[in-house]
Structure 1
């Protein structure tokens, strides 16, 4: 993984600018909503071997509450799955690769154009799995909302303005609900 939070901040900036360009928007429109005090936090995950992986998940289905999530997967043991339609798709291990995931806050800012995918982690019966996830989120004092130029008659605004989405995320996630649904009209 990149060597410091500063490097990940630069990667976040590059990704958010590229997302804006792909939608023919001003380069900094997503960055402006992130604010000057955007936050990053890391979670280190250890999934020990589980004799009954058919009965035990390593991490329940969820979508990330961040804007962008960086995941450094275990270099040998798979476990990450994305939900596509009604089917769980395995994510292959690519050694030395950094997986970049869109979170709920980028979905809100993009007016639903970029989707925050539901994913989970499965356990392995024979081997432990280790991963690191770094979550990049807007400043908790900044309000985020869909970018105005992305709202029109064919794509109406589905999300309210929201401040400190991470609090909403943890509240609804604990209840087993999809947090992004709490900020829909």
Structure 2
């Protein structure tokens, strides 16, 4: 493509089109998510704490500034430090991305463990796409066993952390999904073939 005005305009249109496709795909993906565990009204005080942060902010910056701040879920209290990985490798672009993380404390706590375990690997970084796939697996487990103390999320986060420690590499997202499906089937949870875990 020529580097002239029409070429740049075409590139901009193509980039805009790709972004719209990604936004639509993300919206469709959210349709089957479980409801957030923390009510938006309960986050009002938390939102005032976000004003003290400059975004984008790393997980380490967030934990350093508001890590001891508590947020109340339906069944317990969590601190921000329990939900956000204390690392410079993970960046939150805006207050809304941090708010989304905190609204799903069970998934956030599991992802914190995985991200911090992956920091121990010297040769591999946890990519954004792999992190998203792990998180999608945790959300699918939350949707399946929402009433059972989140055993699935705990079991799979343990499995990933053990894998990282023993193998010294990250498990593939397909292997994580397969392990999650195995857990569900062995515990009597039905998985549809069109489900994320129907692998």
**If each structure's helix is expressed as a fraction of its own residues, which one has the higher value?**
2
Q: Does TM, scored on the shorter chain, surpass 0.5?
A: no
Q: TM-score, normalised by structure 1?
A: 0.28
Name the larger-Rg structure: 2
**If each structure's strand is expressed as a fraction of its own residues, which one has the higher value?**
1
Higher normalized contact order (CA 8 Å, seq sep 6+, divided by chain length) = 1
